[in-house]
Structure 1
């Protein structure tokens, strides 16, 4: 039997009191102990495996474990700021991690450390165990050890989480055997040093926590630097690689190699690099993170709005971060986008892997060496930094191009005027890497291309620049070995399962008969809809809890009120509570049926619904920017955004009218029913007044009366009435 030493917390009269199991037993004699025991004893007799689980613990002692199957049991710091436990990083994939206990505005948590980021464990049978010999191990499905501290101790040990966010393995004498501060992943916390033996490594993406391509560490010259370490090439990009260390204000004459920042936000390194956070001061939670986009940033927590604000970053120009778009790609500055940039393939190239944008692009044509059919496509204001196969001074353009055609390893060249010497220089590129396009860059790069296609590429250059490679959610690549099967044990399990299955079937049959007798025809329709549409059916209590008892209203209309909520899987949702008087069950089911038949990037996505007595609710994706009506009265929409919103809305309506398998009338298109996401992408919402029409039935709506909001009447009514 596994032992677990923990501290249990009883919440009584709004106070949290730490107590032991013996104290709980004594307290039960003072307030209603007998009724409670009467309820518990039958459970213990019926289910011997029944045990009390606590929501959190302060420490783990030797021979105790944390199970991945009980993710709610976590270690917490005494100040309640940090938690340590099993964190979900994918489908059936978990990492042992440390995170801030308070969720952000969107329901997500901020992780600051992970033990097994590159080898997630199975969601069953895996556990973290503190052995008697002082070694802390993480096992995957009870088979292999995927991570360990490799520590030993003859005295007793315990694992605890400090107020600083440092997970520490201590002996009974107070000796630190291991601490998470000495093995950071992608984040530093206040007073956590970065040393010669440690480094920060970015994650692969916002949703994939495994190790990425960007690193912050001290190089061999004792200088703190940022490096792109990709699958094929690597290069340093901060400090500026064309500068000497002293030109960048760094000193290499100190071999201690330590960098740290304090609680005020003052960062200092032994190479003389330092900075102060923009909101320097006490009482603010801060972190320094090596982000997946290659930038190192300091964040400060806005506790009121529950968001992290950037208070310092190393690179102000995101396109000058090496490898950000992969090979054969261009990075273009796009200020109105959240990332500030956009990646696109070079004309004539195509994206290499649709599931991973960072792998860049590959040529969509074939060229032979020294071929007369080879030409050069000029890309103005474009630079590809590094990877010069050769440089030639005082060269003619014709000579530079001829040399590149004859060199099979030459992919293009840059022809640049040197104002100091007064003549042109030629730089041949063996790889088209670290490419970016900016109006401030005055020179031109010439890309080797098929001569016959150059006029086509040149004519459509603007389209190439505007087409972006959309980032995707990288999936975890993992597999688990099946455990060896014990024949006798397997037979006993199957036999017990068969007996239990028969009992469950009998119980379910009785419950089903009782349930069937109570159901009316409308309930049968609801069950059928759930099967046919594939939407998740929520309970009213679930949605009531998600919205904090419908506390935050974000919209209101004739059909009902919309509330903001956070679902159990941490997704932020817009939950529409339909008016019981105005919206009957048939109308509600018609709306769900309509939405279930359409799918378009400019139409709102529905995640589920609720039918509970008189309650009718719909669960939509949450749109950060709200409705178009709200934004029209602000200064956030310039003419370019307005144009794209109009085009996107028209595309959504065109899809409903002309591209669906069935013709859909919205009947109530107005600014209040056009929602905007964080990038101002429009999505047409609220199909509550629509009706689905078969194409074969013509364009007769079948509605008995005109529907819609006065002033926004659908043009279809002109033909029908």
Structure 2
């Protein structure tokens, strides 16, 4: 083995000089520098499992390869990101022997003189090999993209890890017809799981649940034809790639982009253990992976997630995003792994007269229909299922177009999903003798209590003693009195809690949507802000104060003043923010919903808003261009990438905040509006929204409101940032109406652009003369032209925010 020269050493590897020799400290161990870093593995050499630091590192230091522990005395040869995450763990991107780990002693990876790379266990058994041969000299190397490759001295690649991926696709790595991504079994079990991303025989990329008993495709939606899912079957090349900028493109027309599109962040596309495909970007500061795109926002749409005879309910505030519950008379097969589902606690052989049906509202099960009974009454459906031994239940569905009910008989209850959006009913077949009122609570589907425990409670409640023994009478009387007292105490406590919180129903509705954040009491925030003494901002919906949280984190606290307006804004903001996650959006730390008090707690931005810095020398032209790109990315995420369609409706410099590195974060969603992406013509805005000077003409002329109103406001903000001129103060002779003031700013810039026949560049005439420093003329001209496109009067002439991002980033790539 040879020491690699001119190699980048990760920051976690600290070089020291001890006794005149160079050492590197890695994971708490000190090893010789020459021994630790290897440029390549030569023929006749090995990497040993007994030497944890016996690894190869890519020239840029980003990736490492070696033996990785996957259990007690169990190791796999793997590739991982060299820098650990905030929790100390390394992110694995490839494994050679994920399903057959080797022993922690005497195992090694050897490059034989024949050119074959083999993984040998302690007993010298070959568990994995490349099956390559070569008469030339051969080396094993890890390149900067994370590809481990075996090549000859002539440069011929004999084998590479990019051709045999596990669960992760790295930038520049191709996914082709003979490759597939397979999830891990669990977060702690790296062996092959049940979910696969692959090219199907019809040339379409699909997600497959390949369980121990059944298999089913679940993405794209199996009931859609390829063109309805916006996929093409005509290109049989079957290739897909994620490029370095975060853009994924496939031969079946599947296209998506990272929310932080652009060259720079480290990324990976992974089929996760829960069956979802996610694109991750690494937050270098916090050392965590951030989801920048995902195939499913609702995990209950993924097959096999809760197993058979189980119901999945979407619960956003849970880390998994879901809750699995067994249907009545079924118990969980494995309490630690819900994917095993539930098993019945009764004999499945039921005759017609021995069964009854339990109704499950707002529930549907996918597939396995053995019969379709059109225009059937409920009684006829029950009879058909009772007579069919294979039938375990039926879906009773109202067919709107036909105007009557039909039933779908089921042989299996798989991929159950409960949602209040389902109006149809599901009926499951159970033994008649065991049906009782004890199952009524299940129909209500309480998520916080197991159904079995409630059934036992009901049994005890309804038991009655017919004996006359005085002792037992006194005992039952004492128990009843004690139970009554407990009920009274709980009732009083509940009443006081509701009274203290004001309107209980309203508060509960807020708490349901305010998921995923810390809930603060009003007293906590009052203390943290020193009785709201430091005001740092004021808007139409409330005042923002600075404070220090109990964990010593500085935060911004927005207090919604107006009770009527504030409550509605609070609900809109929290329900929106709960579904948003982007590096160019302000992060919400918590909330307060106590009595009439409604507060939101945000991360504190050290440099305030763009409006505060616009006319100072703190923002040079480089920072201003980066602010334009970051703001566009945040708005593009709101419009196109997040789980709902979000309109900001009040884009202005005051709502673009700057962090310690002057990176922009879009803030204040008090005027946001959640819409259905398909509803282009929207008439649900009853009042004009936004800020004078930045509002699009649609507001004034009562035209349909779309995402293009934000595009218009963005264009005005960018022109203001470049020119230093307020949209409400371009000329002293401006009318008092907003329309003319906006148009005057745009017209003034356009006039300068058209007058560019002179010697002086029109860009030099419009840029803010008070801003110091040089600027890239071509880049600045592009920014102004893009801003003018955004500020077009005609809505359809404006680009989308994703197109704006693409145009601005193109200049960075070309530079």
The alignment's TM-score, normalised by the length of structure 1, stands at: 0.60
Moved more, 51-60 or 231-240: 51-60
Task: Label 1:11 to 1:343 Cα distance change in 2 as closer, same or farther (>3 A).
Answer: closer
Residue 428 of structure 1 corresponds to 409
Higher RCO structure, 1 or 2 (CA under 8 Å, sep 6+)? 1
Residue 638 of structure 2 corresponds to none
Is the Cα–Cα contact under 8 Å of residues 344 and 464 in structure 1 kept in the other structure?
Answer: no
CA distance in 2, matches of 1:632, 1:446: 51
Task: Label 1:11 to 1:314 Cα distance change in 2 as closer, same or farther (>3 A).
Answer: closer
Q: Which secondary structure does the structure 2 equivalent of 1:174 belong to?
A: coil
Task: Label 1:127 to 1:412 Cα distance change in 2 as closer, same or farther (>3 A).
Answer: same
Residue 236 of structure 1 corresponds to 217
Residue 341 of structure 2 corresponds to 360
Q: CA deviation at 1:450?
A: 2.2
Question: Is 1:635 aligned to 2:590, yes or no?
Answer: yes
Question: Is 1:169 aligned to 2:150, yes or no?
Answer: yes
Residue 140 of structure 2 corresponds to 159
Task: Label 1:408 to 1:77 Cα distance change in 2 as closer, same or farther (>3 A).
Answer: same
CA distance in 1, matches of 2:4, 2:591: 51
Q: Which secondary structure does the structure 2 equivalent of 1:402 belong to?
A: helix
Residue 407 of structure 1 corresponds to 388
Task: Label 1:638 to 1:447 Cα distance change in 2 as closer, same or farther (>3 A).
Answer: farther
Task: Label 1:203 to 1:631 Cα distance change in 2 as closer, same or farther (>3 A).
Answer: farther
CA distance in 1, matches of 2:253, 2:379: 47
Question: Is 1:287 aligned to 2:298, yes or no?
Answer: no
The counterpart of 2:39, out of the listed 42, 47, 58, is 58
Residue 68 of structure 1 corresponds to 49
CA distance in 2, matches of 1:286, 1:458: 49
CA distance in 1, matches of 2:436, 2:39: 67
Is the Cα–Cα contact under 8 Å of residues 344 and 466 in structure 1 kept in the other structure?
Answer: no
CA distance in 2, matches of 1:256, 1:455: 59
Deviations 1:510-532 (A, max 9, x none): xxxxxxxxxxxxxxxxxxxxxxx
Deviations 1:620-665 (A, max 9, x none): xxxxx9979999997346689xxxxxxxxxxxxxxxxxxxxxxxxx
Question: Is 1:383 aligned to 2:338, yes or no?
Answer: no
Q: CA deviation at 1:32?
A: 8.0
Task: Label 1:433 to 1:152 Cα distance change in 2 as closer, same or farther (>3 A).
Answer: same
Which consecutive residues of structure 1, in runs of 5 or more, have no partner in the other structure? Answer: 19-27, 37-49, 470-624, 641-721
Q: CA deviation at 1:460?
A: 4.1
CA distance in 2, matches of 1:128, 1:241: 43
CA distance in 1, matches of 2:420, 2:14: 63
Deviations 1:361-401 (A, max 9, x none): 10012243324231111110011011111111111111101
CA distance in 1, matches of 2:32, 2:553: 54
The counterpart of 2:435, out of the listed 428, 441, 453, is 453
Q: Which secondary structure does the structure 2 equivalent of 1:635 belong to?
A: strand
Question: Is 1:260 aligned to 2:241, yes or no?
Answer: yes
The counterpart of 1:90, out of the listed 43, 52, 71, is 71
Is the Cα–Cα contact under 8 Å of residues 235 and 251 in structure 2 kept in the other structure?
Answer: yes
Deviations 1:608-628 (A, max 9, x none): xxxxxxxxxxxxxxxxx9979
The counterpart of 2:330, out of the listed 349, 353, 369, is 349
CA distance in 1, matches of 2:250, 2:84: 31
Residue 285 of structure 2 corresponds to 304
CA distance in 2, matches of 1:95, 1:454: 53
CA distance in 1, matches of 2:436, 2:127: 53
Is the Cα–Cα contact under 8 Å of residues 82 and 163 in structure 1 kept in the other structure?
Answer: yes
Which consecutive residues of structure 2, in runs of 5 or more, have no partner in the other structure? Answer: 22-30, 452-548, 558-588, 596-815
Q: Mapping of 1:509-588 within 5 angstroms? A: none
Is the Cα–Cα contact under 8 Å of residues 240 and 251 in structure 2 kept in the other structure?
Answer: yes
CA distance in 2, matches of 1:138, 1:252: 40
Question: Is 1:192 aligned to 2:173, yes or no?
Answer: yes
The counterpart of 1:148, out of the listed 129, 142, 164, is 129
The counterpart of 1:269, out of the listed 247, 250, 257, is 250
Is the Cα–Cα contact under 8 Å of residues 118 and 211 in structure 1 kept in the other structure?
Answer: yes
The counterpart of 1:133, out of the listed 114, 138, 145, is 114
Is the Cα–Cα contact under 8 Å of residues 119 and 127 in structure 2 kept in the other structure?
Answer: yes
CA distance in 2, matches of 1:312, 1:9: 36
Q: Which secondary structure does the structure 2 equivalent of 1:372 belong to?
A: helix
The counterpart of 2:86, out of the listed 105, 122, 133, is 105
Aligned residues: 455
Residue 191 of structure 2 corresponds to 210
Moved more, 339-348 or 164-173: 339-348
Q: Which secondary structure does the structure 1 equivalent of 2:435 belong to?
A: helix
Deviations 1:450-469 (A, max 9, x none): 23324211234446644589
Is the Cα–Cα contact under 8 Å of residues 8 and 61 in structure 2 kept in the other structure?
Answer: no
Q: Which secondary structure does the structure 2 equivalent of 1:405 belong to?
A: helix
Deviations 1:340-362 (A, max 9, x none): 11111112100113453211110
Higher helix share: 2
Is the Cα–Cα contact under 8 Å of residues 8 and 59 in structure 2 kept in the other structure?
Answer: no
Deviations 1:166-189 (A, max 9, x none): 001010100000000000000000
The counterpart of 1:278, out of the listed 237, 259, 264, is 259
Q: Which secondary structure does the structure 1 equivalent of 2:248 belong to?
A: strand
Is the Cα–Cα contact under 8 Å of residues 278 and 295 in structure 2 kept in the other structure?
Answer: yes
Is the Cα–Cα contact under 8 Å of residues 346 and 464 in structure 1 kept in the other structure?
Answer: no
Question: Is 1:340 aligned to 2:321, yes or no?
Answer: yes
Deviations 1:657-680 (A, max 9, x none): xxxxxxxxxxxxxxxxxxxxxxxx
How much is the aligned-residue C-alpha RMSD, in angstroms? 3.1
Task: Label 1:67 to 1:298 Cα distance change in 2 as closer, same or farther (>3 A).
Answer: same
Q: CA deviation at 1:214?
A: 0.4
The counterpart of 1:178, out of the listed 143, 146, 159, is 159
Deviations 1:251-298 (A, max 9, x none): 101111000010111100001111111110111111100001001010
Residue 441 of structure 1 corresponds to 422
Is the Cα–Cα contact under 8 Å of residues 298 and 313 in structure 1 kept in the other structure?
Answer: yes
Deviations 1:65-106 (A, max 9, x none): 000000112100000000000111111111100000001111
The counterpart of 2:232, out of the listed 246, 251, 254, is 251
Residue 328 of structure 1 corresponds to 309
CA distance in 1, matches of 2:53, 2:346: 54
Task: Label 1:637 to 1:401 Cα distance change in 2 as closer, same or farther (>3 A).
Answer: farther
Is the Cα–Cα contact under 8 Å of residues 359 and 443 in structure 2 kept in the other structure?
Answer: no
Task: Label 1:126 to 1:426 Cα distance change in 2 as closer, same or farther (>3 A).
Answer: same
Q: CA deviation at 1:52?
A: 9.3
CA distance in 2, matches of 1:17, 1:318: 42
Q: CA deviation at 1:11?
A: 12
CA distance in 2, matches of 1:629, 1:282: 31
Task: Label 1:249 to 1:212 Cα distance change in 2 as closer, same or farther (>3 A).
Answer: same
